[in-house]
Amino acid sequence: MISYPNAKINLGLNVVRRRPDGFHDIESVFYPVPWRDILEIVPAKEGRGEVAFTSSGLEIPSDGNPNLCERVYSLLHKEFGLSSIKMHLHKIVPIGAGLGGGSADAAFAATMLNEMFELKLTADKLEQIVGQVGSDCPFFIQNKPSYVTGRGEVLESFDLELSGYWIMLINPKIHIGTKEAYEGIQPIETSNSLQNELQKEMGEWKDVVLNDFEKSIFPKHPIIKGLKDDLYAQGANYASMTGSGSTVFGLFGEEPIWKKKDGFETKIVQL
């Protein structure tokens, strides 16, 4: 069985408060975009509870813990006693880039295992399971535009249609860690609803649909701010950094032309 886990972008990202558990509550809209990994899962010949995980493509940094996909398998095996499998991930979506690639891999793995083993789990149950692996994971179960609150795991369907627009995503291959991203962040609860701001014409988003992480990331990594400025200079209707960086994206009414820059990963695709 093969699937193609996709990335996401953040349309606005407000850090609204620090929680007692040390995490932060956010407000954002997640939108799926067609920049994809490739994930294959096949049954092993024998055994139960074992997953043979391999990967290719981009190198996946290891912190000594199992990959997120392996962790999803372990959670499902603990509850349902799954037979052993082989799992291969071909990594294409940049890692640690604000695109949710690892979260998508985990969510797609859960959906594939649900189908492979005929577990008949609902979307709500799958979201609950993958939410134990990562805050962004539940979004990729239904994989549709969502208004996101809490740590990123509270989802509400959001009516936003960007079909026909072109998106340019540029990753400067700068890894932004969570600790670095939150340094300098001052949580602010605002009376302006992101949901309302996104109902405005896209040309008005520039000054009202903001990513709070830009305030702390841009001074440390001016090259990222420069890419956002370049996208507007190229004619983007809207441009922003996604997540905690370092990928930036621009939305265009027609296919943009981009002169390739050495050292950057660029994806241009119609939504």
How do residues 211-241 score in pLDDT, each as one tens digit?
999 998 999 999 999 999 999 999 999 999 9
pTM over 0.75: yes
- Is the same domain home to 13 and 131? yes
Q: What is the CATH number of the domain that holds 7?
A: 3.30.230.10
pLDDT reported for residue 263: 83
How do residues 124-146 score in pLDDT, each as one tens digit?
999 999 999 998 999 999 999 99
The two beta strands, 38-48 and 146-149, are unpaired
pLDDT at 262 over 80: no
Note whether 28 and 154 are within 8 A (CB): no
Which residue among the candidates 37, 91, 105, 136 is catalytic per the annotation? 136
End residue of a domain, out of 126, 157, 188: 157
pLDDT reported for residue 8: 98
The reply to whether 8 belongs to the active site is: yes
- The residues near 182 (Cβ < 8 Å, ≥ 6 apart) are 15, 24, 216, 244
- Is the same domain home to 184 and 253? yes
Average pLDDT, the chain: 93
pLDDT at 10 over 70: yes
- Is the same domain home to 102 and 151? yes
Which residue among the candidates 8, 91, 228, 267 is catalytic per the annotation? 8
Count the Cβ atoms, other than its own, within 10 Å of residue 261. Answer: 12
pLDDT reported for residue 33: 97
- Is the same domain home to 15 and 146? yes
Look up the domain containing 13 and give its range: 2-157
How do residues 14-40 score in pLDDT, each as one tens digit?
998 888 887 788 999 999 999 999 999
- Is the same domain home to 177 and 126? no
- Is the same domain home to 188 and 144? no
pLDDT at 113 over 70: yes
- Is the same domain home to 108 and 189? no
- The helix-helix angle for 68-80 and 123-130 (nearest 10°) equals 120
Number of domains observed in the structure of the chain: 2
Average pLDDT over residues 242-264: 89
The reply to whether 159 belongs to the active site is: no
Cα–Cα distance, 100 to 93 (Å, whole number): 9
How do residues 166-194 score in pLDDT, each as one tens digit?
999 999 999 887 778 777 787 877 767 89
How do residues 148-159 score in pLDDT, each as one tens digit?
998 888 999 999
